[in-house]
Amino acid sequence: MKQWLRDLFLGRPRQLQSLAHWNRVRCEVHKRQRLREPRPNGLACPNCGAELDDVDPFIILDTGPFPERKVRCRACQWWGSRLA
C-alpha cells in the first residue's frame, strides 16, 4: 500500500512535496520521453512506399481543425504530418 494512502487511512497529516522536488521529477520524466525513438505507425510513405515513423509519439500538434502528428520516412527522408 502506498504511504500516502496508508496515512490517509490512519488519519495522519499528508506529507506535501516541495515545488523544487516536483519540478525536478517532472523534468526527468520529460527527458526520458524525449529520448524515445520514433515509432513505426504502419502507414506507407506516399513517396517510396516504405513504412512511416511517428517522429515524436508523445506530441500531438494542434495546428488546424484536426490534431496531427509529425511523420517521416527513414528510407527516402520524406516528412509530413498525419491526422492523430
pLDDT tens digits for range 71-81: 999 999 999 99
Task: Match 484536426 to its residue by C-alpha cell.
Answer: 66
Instruction: Round to whole Å and give the CA distance between 1 and 12.
Output: 15
- In sequence order, the 6+-apart residues with CB closer than 8 A to the CB of 13 are 7
Distance between start and end Cα atoms, the chain:
37
Is the pTM higher than 0.75? The answer reads no
Task: Match 517521416 to its residue by C-alpha cell.
Answer: 72
* Per-residue confidence (pLDDT) for residue 30, from 0 to 100: 77
Instruction: Round to whole Å and give the CA distance between 21 and 42.
Output: 39
* Per-residue confidence (pLDDT) for residue 50, from 0 to 100: 94
| 67 and 60 Cβ atoms separated by less than 8 Å | yes
* Per-residue confidence (pLDDT) for residue 35, from 0 to 100: 65
User: What residue type is assigned to position 2 of the chain?
Assistant: K
Q: What is the mean pLDDT of each run of 10 residues along the chain (84 residues)?
A: 75 78 85 75 93 86 88 94 90
